[in-house]
């Protein structure tokens, strides 16, 4: 078993969040925005790059107060418009993989509900899970969505299975990645589609970040490009692993799905928010960040299909 260090310099036994292997090959040391040291490691078995901490003891952070937001820029008119554009892109992607009219859809980590609203407009029956009260309130009051539950996936008790299970920028936050994917699979109806979008570790920014971390050069930039950190009581939304195409065959076998993966350009989220993490003046960061997002393909799309039940002869 590989023993590594967490941010308190205590020894933590490595346990992969996906395959449960206990040996790691590569290791990178980074610092959080506040100067706390932490390690990244690559699983020797499945290759998943992940933050090292006792994830099996860590609970997801809930934002129960409707006034509690991660960053005020998430609610700007520019950001809301970007969410609507992203929702249309993914609604179209969903429509390419199954008929949405009458389809039962579950969006895990649905945020403010823009994707659910776009899918509802195409005739889908939509349900959302979200743990941030401010986003749940927006979905209920602004978008008139009714089936929005402030629950995690493992807390959700479904009365039926779903034709489409979708998550956008959720996989990188999940402490128990294997358990999350298996829970998704358990809720998928025969012939159903699973659609996930997450930052990918074999993209150019992440690879550059790991190189900088290994050499010790530009530590702040290394952390930003690696795009991984530690979960804390205040930042339970931290990125704690990055999938790559290397894990796709492993996941396909685990879930018994026809699974494919490909990269697309990233999406405009809060440019002001992300620019604040860059070691650049804000006026430059907010202009440079959107350009980088459009040019670099770093968003990994996973599309999994479950075989339908064959008709009786």
Q: How many Å apart are CA 195 and CA 193, to the nearest integer?
A: 6
Task: Please give the distance of CA 109 from its chain centroid, rounded to a whole number.
Answer: 9
Compute the C-alpha angle 150/273/35, nearest 5°. Answer: 95
In the chain, the domains with their CATH numbers are 1-57+205-226 (2.20.25), 60-200+243-305 (3.40.50.150)
Torsion of CA 306, 55, 59, 83, to 10 degrees: -60
Q: What pLDDT is stored for residue 275 in this prediction?
A: 61
The closest alpha carbon to 175, from 7, 3, 18, belongs to 18
What element of type H or E holds 310? Answer: none
Q: Taking each helix axis from N to C terminus, what angle separates 219-226 and 204-215, rounded to the nearest 10 degrees?
A: 150
- Residue that has been written with the tokens 């076998």 in this structure: 253
Q: What angle do CA 214, 217, 223 make, to 5 degrees?
A: 70
Task: Collapse the DSSP code of 264 into the 3-class scheme (helix H, G, I; strand E, B; otherwise coil) and give the result.
Answer: strand
pLDDT of residue 199: 92
Q: Give the per-residue pLDDT at 223.
A: 84
- The predicted pLDDT at position 167 comes to 97
Give the containing element (helix H, strand E) for 216: none
pLDDT for res 218: 81
pLDDT at 245: 96
CA distance 94 to 100: 8
Please identify every stretch of the chain with a pLDDT value under 50, giving residue numbers as ranges.
8, 234-235
Crossing angle of helices 248-255 and 177-186, in 10° steps, is 50
Q: State if pTM tops 0.85.
A: yes
What is the distance of C-alpha 125 from the center of its chain?
A: 23
């Amino acid at each position: 078993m590989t023993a590594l260090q967490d941010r308190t310099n205590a020894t933590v036994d490595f346990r992969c969040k996906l395959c449960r292997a206990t040996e790691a090959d590569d290791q990178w040391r980074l610092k959080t925005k506040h100067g706390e040291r932490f390690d990244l490691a690559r699983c020797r078995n499945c290759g998943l790059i992940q933050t090292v901490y006792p994830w099996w003891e860590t609970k997801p952070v809930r934002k129960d107060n409707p006034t509690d937001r991660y960053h005020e820029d998430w609610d700007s008119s520019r950001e809301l418009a970007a969410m609507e554009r992203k929702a249309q892109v993914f609604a179209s992607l969903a429509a390419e993989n199954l008929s949405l009219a009458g389809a039962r859809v579950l969006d895990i980590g649905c945020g403010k509900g823009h994707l659910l609203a776009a899918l509802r407009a195409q005739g889908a029956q939509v349900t959302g899970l979200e743990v941030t009260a401010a986003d749940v309130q927006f979905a209920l009051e602004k978008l008139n969505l009714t089936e929005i539950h402030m629950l995690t996936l493992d807390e959700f008790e479904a009365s039926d299975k779903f034709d489409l299970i979708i998550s956008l920028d959720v996989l990188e936050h999940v402490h128990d990645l294997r358990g999350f994917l298996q829970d998704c699979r358990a809720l998928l109806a025969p012939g159903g589609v699973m659609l996930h979008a997450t930052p990918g570790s074999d993209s150019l920014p992440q690879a550059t970040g790991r190189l900088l971390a290994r050499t010790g050069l530009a530590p702040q930039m290394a952390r930003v490009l690696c795009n991984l950190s530690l979960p804390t009581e205040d930042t339970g939304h931290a990125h704690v692993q990055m999938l790559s195409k290397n894990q796709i065959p492993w996941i396909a076998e685990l879930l018994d799905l026809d699974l494919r993966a490909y990269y697309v350009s990233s999406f405009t989220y809060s440019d002001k928010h992300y620019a604040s993490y860059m070691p650049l003046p804000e006026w430059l960061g907010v202009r440079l960040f959107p350009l980088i997002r459009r040019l670099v393909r770093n968003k990994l799309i996973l599309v999994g299909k479950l075989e339908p039940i064959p008709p009786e002869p």
